[in-house]
Chain A
Amino acid sequence: MNLSSVRLRMAYRLFLLVITAIALFVSWSGWRLKYYGPLGPGPGFFPVWVGILLALSCICALFSSLAEGLDEASTPFFEDAEGGRSVLLVIVALLALWPGLKYFGFRLTMLVFVWVVPRVFGARPLWQRAATAVLLSFGVAFGFERGLGVQLPEPELEFLQALGF
């Protein structure tokens, strides 16, 4: 995909639509709960109004953006293609962090993450990457677990647990 073809204004309108849909869903969910009872507001009262107000605000913002004119005049979503690629890579890595932590535990996931992701910022000496990765995974885990008694995510995979990760 050509990253420079993604326009900021188009993405903004899409975002507003998504938020509007969520707000309307919240409002509808609130309506299905008890809105008002003999003792006062029910659990649905506040969600109904927050949802309606948010949806209305988003629709106003959408109209305001549409009044701005054609999308081609808008700047790209990413300031430059390289920056866009970097941020997308980091986002993918961040989203991959959750299953990583769940199945492989803190130490191994952070070792890989800290080894791989800083490459986005440019080439660094191998020793520096290795030292940072080991220190921020095994080193930090040792410090927090032994020193501060803070439990960190353990792997769900049994063989990794058996190996002490």
Chain B
Amino acid sequence: MDILSAFGDGLWLAMQPANLFAALIGCIIGTLIGVLPGVGPVAGVAILLPVTYSMNPVSALIMLCSIYYGTMYGGTITSVLMNVPGETASVVTCIDGHQMARQGRGGAALAIAAIGSTIGGLVATVAVMLVAAPLSKLSLLFGPPEFFALVLVSFTLLVGLAGDSLLKGAIAALFGLLLTLPGMDPLTGVGRMTFDSPQMLSGLGFVPVLMGLFGISEILVNVEKGQRGFGTVPISTLWLTREDWRASAMPIARGSVLGFLIGVIPGLGAATSSFLSYALEKKLARDPSRFGEGAIEGVAGPETANNASANAALLPLLSLGIPGSATVAVIMAGFLIHGITPGPFLFKDHPDIVWSLIASMVTASVILLILNLPLVGLWVRILRLPYAVLFAIILVFTVIGTYSVSGSMFDVAVMLVFSVIGYVMRKFGFPMAPIALTLVLGPQLETSLGQSLVLSEGSLMVFFRSPISTVLMLVAIGLVLHLALRPVTRKGLQMLRGHDSEV
């Protein structure tokens, strides 16, 4: 009953006009970002982070999360109508979604994607609601050694699962950590690597670094590809037949459960859930040969799974303070900017924020359903805007966003330099998600390591004194060993080198 009444309070707060408006704007902007090929959810949330500075924390965080959910659905529109995924989680939707559009059933594909996304989002929200509070109570038992071990597990998972090359994943994660070093040492307060610059005393701000690495660098990649504009397939009726409903019901149910389970594991993310859902539906289908030829199950399952996963990814953030994906890491940056530290104390210290955020998952899901079906035509028209104009708009907002953080031209310079670094790293096939995670969690990792060593007077055995940290450390060590031994096999050797990239 406690959970229900807390959720009721949260829903009441989320339904306040200002918060509802924030969710609406977030869903619209998120869908727009998702629609634009080449601007992913991480870049989108990073670019729009500064828009929320002047808002109250509840509205700001609701807006950031709504942007995230919106991008998940927006990517579907381009996947179905243009065969161009707006973000990686929608790649799999291209396979059958675009085939449906070419057969004149694009409207049905978009409708089932919207309905599946809403159901997946709602199921994941209920699960988050039931699990988050008990999990956060458990995490109150976490001291510095347990927290360090938990972050280590997340890093290991992310490095192991991000991209095809383990070395590149490790380099990306360590590079992110390196960027957190300049400024004041979190334990002693002594300045380090500041090069006698007063601006460097507060370190490299994560907003300018994230905006450069994720926002502008993604656009530079599109500039190189010569992105000029987009062509779409016309939309048909949005009505679904009885056969469509029958074929989609079970994929939606399975996608909801699968998406939630994948989403709560840090590092796996929405793209994994949509790919696994597609594979599962194909395996369970009576006639698997229909997949790839416009099977509605190939749209319903993955789209449901990726939205369920997006909502579920907030669970480790809210209860443990660990972002499960790069986008959630940027959302975590939003929490920190508003002076709120996600994690075990969030439910105790800011129940209004956390429960209204969980409730906003429901309002955002409903808004997306109401908004997106009738407005599909509008989104398609936006795609007719020349890419040059879109690029200019994004760049102008990025500069304003970075400058407005602290009114510092130094931050703008940092953002511009990291745009180029991000572009180069993308060219070399470095996964960007580990950078976001270590950049945001780096100071906490360093603090918890330092505090643990102080507690134990320098003994590393501190990480094996409590059952929680022992289990987590063993998981981390097991993962490291698994990843390190994988190259022994031929397939593993290919992974180490990165078989998808030549470098």
Contact = CB atoms under 8 A, between A and B. Distances in A.
Interface of A: 8-9, 11-12, 15, 19, 22-23, 26, 29-30, 33-34, 36, 39-47, 50-51, 53-54, 57-58, 60-61, 64-65, 68, 74-75, 77-80, 82-84, 86-87, 90-91, 94-95, 97-98, 101-102, 106, 110, 113-114, 117-122, 124, 128, 132, 136-137, 140, 144, 148-153
B168 interface: yes
Contact of A50 (B177, B409, B419): B177
Q: Tell me if A's interface is mostly helix, strand, loop or mixed.
A: helix
B424 interface: yes
Interface string B141-185: 000000000000000000000000001101100110110010001
B400 A150 contact: yes
Contacts of B224: 78-79, 83-84, 86-87
Contacts of B485: none
Contacts of A12: 428, 503
Nearest to B54: A148
Interface of B: 54, 167-168, 170-171, 174-175, 177-178, 181, 185, 187-188, 190, 192-193, 216, 220, 223-228, 386-389, 391-393, 395-396, 399-400, 403-404, 407, 409, 412-413, 416, 419-420, 423-424, 427-428, 446, 449-450, 453-454, 457-458, 496-497, 502-503
Contacts of A50: 174, 177-178, 181
A118 B391 CA distance: 8
A136 to B, nearest CB: 5
B171 A19 contact: yes
A77 B427 contact: yes
Nearest to B389: A132
Given A12-B503, A15-B424, A114-B392, 10 more contacts: A8-B428, A11-B428, A41-B454, A50-B181, A54-B171, A54-B178, A61-B168, A91-B419, A117-B392, A121-B388
A83 B225 CA distance: 6
A9 B400 contact: no
Contact of A136 (B170, B396, B416, B503): B396
Contact of A15 (B391, B428, B446, B458): B428
Contacts of A53: 170, 174
Contacts of A61: 167-168, 171
Q: Which of A64, A84, A117, A149 is most buried by chain B, counting CB atoms within 10 A of its CB? A: A64
Contacts of A95: 416, 420
Contact of A87 (B175, B185, B223, B407): B223
Contacts of A34: 188, 190
Most A Cβ at <10 Å: residue of B175, B177, B502, B503 = B503
B171 A26 contact: no
Nearest to A74: B502
A22 B178 contact: yes
Contact of A64 (B227, B412, B453, B496): B496
9 contacts: A40-B458, A42-B185, A45-B450, A54-B174, A64-B497, A74-B503, A86-B226, A132-B389, A153-B412
